[in-house]
Structure 1
Amino acid sequence: MTTTEIERFSFQAQPRALDDLRQRLHRTIWPDEVAAEPWRYGPPVAYMQRFVDYWLNKYDWPAQQARLNSFPQFTAQLDEHRIHFIHQVGAGPAPMPLVLTHGWPGSVVEMLEIIPLLTDPAAHGADPADSFTVIAPSIPGYGFSSRPSKRGTNVFVVADLWAKLMTALGYSRFGVQGGDWGSWISAATALRHPDRVAGLHLNYLSTRFRPALGPNDAPLSAAEEEYLARVARWADTEGGYIAIQGTKPLTLSYALTDSPAGLAAWHVEKFRSWSDCRLEPDEALTKDDMITDIMLYWLTGTTHSAMRFYSESKEHPFHLAAGQRITPPCGIVHLPKELPMPPRSWAERAFHVVHWSSLPRGGHFAAWEQPELLAQDIRDFFRPLRASIVS
């Protein structure tokens, strides 16, 4: 390791904070609603009342806190940022270092099921030769990482922080994986540090990864044009959160920092809209996991700093020049209930795609919803790339 300050970490919520949370939940003022198709305008009041009742009367925070603390956690001081991360060493003969990055409205809670599958495949019926040493950081402004005190912490800054973190941990080459913001940060890491990234595996791909079309590039195909139309339709019906969080996140944060029920509704709506469920998010994610994720935002006061990452992205967009590609080998996996995903031809305009697959079920929260299926796809992608890793 380098001289970077790295310390063991565990979290103990303050009793005063937990008492205050319960009081606020008890005092929730519920909105009215109009008769309409369920979830048409957001989470139904009846569902949120059941959700809050479960939170108050059945949810076991001490058990969830103990689960979080059962993972080896650390913090590293990198520049002005204190970065929290899980560092689970693999159990196989030659574990491959792999950085897993979460997104919004998620957190490292997304990764708790998949980490054991990746670090100890033999214990789950897979080949021990496919083991990984997993590093799962919290994005600056999320969870247990520090909140940026000034503007400019965008995906490129985080990519450089991840490279510094891996240097501090003694890993010269490594893989990267993610969805949502994790896909952006993983792609930015591969773009800025191609000599260190052995491969990147993505379970989500934004339209913004496409490079500008140059004179030697093929024009958009019919499939690519149809993809852009799907993205436009999705943005019209589902993209309001991007407009708010990308322009005026502080305005919304006053409400969500003051009301745990409000914060929960803002997250639950995405858990339902973006997951592979038919009626309610509980079909894809447990209430315990959803509430634990929300608790991390609430207890760390990171609602605003997490949403502000959208405005940073808007102010520092991910653009590739005409003809420019992200060169490390890339694997992309589609899930049936994911946000609009492009055809392979689109991805190949920006990435060196060597692996293209589909899973039979799952949505935007792949590691959370389908950890076994995603873990197997990650193993399959990285298997031929392991020889390039030199620690």
Structure 2
Amino acid sequence: MTRPTGEIEEFEAHAPDAELDELRARLAAARLPEAETVYGAPPGPGRWDQGVPLADLVDVVNYWRTDYDWRSFEGRLNEIGQYRTTIDGLGIHFLHRRSPRADATPLIMTHGWPGSIAEFVDVINELADPQDAHAPAFHVVAPSLPGFGYSDKPVTTGWATEKIAASWVELMGPLGYTNFLAQGGDWGGNITTVLAGRFPDHVLGIHTTFAEGLPDLTTDGLTATERRWADETHEFWHHRAAYAKQQATRPQTIGYSLVDSPVGLLAWILDKFAEWSDTEDSPFETISRDRILDDVTLYWLTRSGASAARIYYESHNSLDPELRVDVPAAITMYPKDIEKYPRPWAQERFRQIVRWSEPERGGHFPSLEVAEFFVRDVQEGLAAVLAAKG
């Protein structure tokens, strides 16, 4: 297991004015391609068949250059509380919001790609200090994955999800959290699964929006909805996941564009917010431009486009098929998420599902798309986990 090698230090985000000026200058000087050639009249999802439409990108680039306020987001991060420590030689950044409630339970929340800690800024306070006195409260820890945001960039291979999960255990200990809950989606759901499976003596239980089944499970006995989920997940990975193959095989190559061109970085990430959200035409139907630009600008200022992509190189298709989760698990399958596993499949790995939720709305970024529902769902799911734990 990894070991902490540094003290926990407070951290404050503040990008130099010169870097923000350079970003605006690069945006103003961007060279853009011609408009896409697609079938079908706008609006509608057909507009995005070749990726981000030119008109949409131009609007966001102009807003990013002239009106977007990065300082506001920095202030939100600093208000929540930011820290850094060193684990196995790598600097790890994390948000930490202690609850004022005496009955609060420690909770580590892990983001994915193309997300970041920006996914949690609108939900951490309510999870830590809920307005409803009957809702559970949590001491929330939200780390930046290695290579993401203000965490250091690994300089050697080996920082796969198994090592990250072990590092999270080492992160929580010095904070006084020997036993804790875990929550995540996307890569964060993968890491949460590994945490629960490998470290049941530390992990009380989990809430996840990612419940990967075992390989080669049969569709016999599934409902019509469950078969559709299986078909949609298969279709996604076979026809719409070129980004994952690129980042799993050639992260360095795409990394040059992601670190050198803010417009290229924006298009690469915005495409995923559009396709993976529960919307008809544009991600901005449910997520504000500011929230998406908080995420993109964090990638830009920390130059983490290439280093973040490497999590695919380290971990793609690596979840151990023998791994089982025996701690209590609350699982939520949002209807427009990119991977939806039927409950009979999930139960093969997660052997104590205490709450299963299938909301009517929401996609891959529920903390941004349906924030109020996401908070209630996490609260109710983890309350069921704690009740099962006794």
Q: TM-score, normalised by structure 1?
A: 0.91
CA RMSD for the aligned pairs? 2.0
Q: Provide the C-alpha distance between the structure 2 equivalents of 1:25 and 1:64, rounded to a whole number of angstroms.
A: 20
Kept after mapping to 1: 8 A contact 2:366/2:374: yes
Q: What secondary structure sits across from 1:364 in the alignment?
A: coil
Of 104, 108, 111, the residue aligned with 1:102 is 111
Identify the residue that residue 214 of structure 2 maps to in structure 1.
210
Alignment of structure 1 residues 147-186 onto 2, 5 Å: 147-186=153-192
| Corresponding residue to 2:202 among 196, 210, 233 | 196
Q: Does 1:89 align with 2:105?
A: no
Query: In structure 1, the residue corresponding to 2:49 is in which secondary structure?
Result: coil
SS in 2 for 1:141: coil
* In structure 2, distance between residues paired with 1:308 and 1:33: 31
SS in 1 for 2:327: strand
- What corresponds to 1:261 in structure 2? 263
Matched, 1:381 2:381: yes
* AA in 2 matched with 1:162: W
Q: CA deviation at 1:387?
A: 6.6
Aligned residues: 376
Cα 1:357/1:384, change in 2 over 3 Å: closer
* Cα contact 2:36–2:53 (8 A) shared by 1: no
Once the two structures are superposed, the pairs formed by residues 32-181 of structure 1 within 5 Å of their partners are: 32-36=34-38, 37-122=46-131, 126-128=132-134, 130-181=136-187
Structure 1 position 343, deviation (Å) = 1.0
Q: CA deviation at 1:64?
A: 2.0
Distance in 1 (alpha carbons) for counterparts of 2:378 and 2:7: 31
CA distance in 1, matches of 2:108, 2:256: 33
TM-score (norm 2): 0.92
Aligned mate of 2:314, from 309, 312, 315: 312
- Residues 206 and 385 in structure 2, CA contact (< 8 A), matched pair in contact too: no
Q: 8 Å contact 1:97–1:175 — kept in the other structure?
A: yes
Contact 2:36 2:50 in 1 (8 A): no
Q: Distance in 1 between matches of 2:293 and 2:92?
A: 23
Q: What aligned pairs does 1:360-379 form with structure 2 within 5 A after superposition?
A: 360-379=360-379
Contiguous gaps of at least 5 residues in structure 2: 39-45
Offset from partner CA, 1:161-217 (integer Å, 9 cap, x none): 0000111111111000011111001011111101111111111233xx42677xxxx
For residue 32 of structure 1, give the secondary structure of its aligned residue in structure 2: coil
The answer as to whether partners of 1:93 and 1:128 remain within 8 angstroms in 2 is: no
Alpha-carbon separation, structure 1, partners of 2:200 and 2:36: 53
Q: 1:89 to 1:371 in 2, by over 3 A?
A: same
SS at match of 1:48: helix
Deviates more, 1:377-386 or 1:333-342: 377-386
Aligned to 1:216: none
Q: Pick the aligned partner of 1:272 from 271, 274, 280.
A: 274
Does residue 343 in structure 1 map to residue 342 in structure 2?
A: yes
| 8 Å contact from structure 2 (residues 160, 311) kept in 1 | yes
Q: Distance in 2 between matches of 1:112 and 1:258?
A: 27
Residue-by-residue CA offset, 1:247-282 (whole Å, 9 max, x unaligned): 001111111211101100000000110111111111
Q: CA deviation at 1:129?
A: 5.2
Spell out, residue by residue over 1:364-391, the C-alpha distance to the aligned partner (whole angstroms, 9 max, x if none): 001121121111111112224447889x
| SS at structure 2 position matched to 1:87 | strand
Distance 1:174 1:211 in 2: 29
Q: Check the 8 A contact 1:4/1:168 in 2, yes or no.
A: no
Q: State the distance in 1 between where 2:227 and 2:158 align.
A: 33
Note the residue ranges of structure 1 that are not aligned, 5 or more in a row. Answer: 214-218
Identity of aligned residues (%): 37
Structure-2 separation of matches of 1:226 and 1:22: 44
Amino acid at match of 1:39: W
Q: Which residue of 2 aligns with 1:297?
A: 299
Contact 1:173 1:389 in 2 (8 A): no
1:91 touches 1:128 (CA, 8 Å); kept in 2? Answer: no
